[in-house]
Structure 1
Amino acid sequence: FGCRACAEHFENMAQEGLEQVGTLPSAVLWLWFRHNQVNNRISGDLSEDPLFPKIQWPSPETCPACHTVNEKREHKWSKDEVLSFLLSH
């Protein structure tokens, strides 16, 4: 990391939930989930690069099957589809 605060934040975050990572699929999903957490946390910061917006990834345009909406119209991730998408890209 180019930023010490970012490195420290990742180190702290990496301690959360690593005991659940025991397989390649669980590692991929763990890293994807954490990536989206960071994007959510820093979205809109003054330091955000407009060429790389901090969105939840993959976007509905990039992977429509990764996204579902439940009966309450709430967004849900299809983790099986996300995993398939991530492993193929």
Structure 2
Amino acid sequence: LAAILLGFAWLSPFHYNPWVMFSSEMSTFAAGLSVLAVLFYQNIKIPRAQLLLLPFTLIPVVQWAFGLVFDFSTALLSSLYLLGFWFMV
């Protein structure tokens, strides 16, 4: 299911305004959720190198705290994208 959803995200023909990338992002998110549902009850060991990269997901929120990013919603969404990428790697 995840491979089909990722294939749809890659080959999605719905590139019209105002939601140019919405269908691709939504199907990629659904693929991530389907993989998460399969792996939810399994004992997963996270490599130490990946744990060292986890603080990088908080960089946009830290930038918001120091005034480099003006909107909290932008910083939060960026952090959630990075966290989702971290989970999928």
Q: Same fold (TM over 0.5)?
A: no
Task: Pick the structure with more strand per residue.
Answer: 1
Rg (Cα) greater in structure: 2
**TM-score between the two structures when normalised by the length of structure 2:** 0.31
Task: Pick the structure with more helix per residue.
Answer: 2
